[in-house]
Structure 1
């Protein structure tokens, strides 16, 4: 899958140049011209990394980064014309994963993105997960029950893999949002909807199949 980037940058010429180059390099790019639009893009989820300018017309990029870091570990590369050491230190202390001072080459930006994405990958997990009759091939991102392949959307697959990696463990809605959407400020109804759809797909298979159990007041677990 193409990594999805949020480019939060108010200079149109620079942003269009970056977006064009990044898309040719194999990324999907959502461009936001100010802090408000950037926050909205991050709230929608599905973003793998944010490229954030500090000098935004409706607020400081540092404040947006600070708000993001209060709820999420989404990788962030700060890009700015501010080359002062104090600005670089402030961005890194708040939680930026990397820092680029304009002007810089697009090739360097792509290399930095790849490096940050590699560092942000979770520890290796088994290639195959088993939970009762459920088999998940994490390399192929496929799930099957007794050989019957499940047709899952990306977030449905991610949710099932998360639960299957720790059968019997209860995950709160906030943990699910943080792990799968990269932000706990999403509405809990998002998790409810995905659990509902996933249960429906499992229910279509002949028993026995694993069950996603709601633990009232706590969250969800997978019972093999």
Structure 2
């Protein structure tokens, strides 16, 4: 069994970690602390996956100043409470180990703050399974998925995107992969919607972690 790719990128929320409850709790805390109404958050595809600024600006319709305050409050709560509600999807240790045993590089590629990403990996027990962890910056830069993919490529010194695959669960992951020329596998066990990923060009889908073997190895 040989891995088809030199570099395998893994999204975090909804791909490696079931993080929805912690994210939802943190958003609710921020909105309530600002005296804002809390909308229906049952559709987790809206806010688990996209950059945090996009959620406050586009979904909650807050002003730039309110977005800054909301994000600060979110981070305050998430850092001590929300982050603890992360749970690993079954079967990932074996999958990632198999990728690396085949000589391929495994990297986390997430829109989450990089510092938070490291902590989440510790909480779900995957902190020793990756060659690198790539996330967004505290100053709000490097938040789009395409930028994070390029950053990951630079970090591990791989320039040919045709030898790279991103595994993710949202349309934002799909767009990032398409913009950078990477292959993409959409997982449907996360929070995104299959039809949205398909509309942006995704043709490979896996309903389970075990189903990823069929796409990664030959």
TM over 0.5: no
Could you say which structure has the larger radius of gyration? Answer: 1
Which structure has more RCO (C-alpha within 8 Å, separation ≥ 6)? 2
- By percentage of residues, which structure has more strand? 1
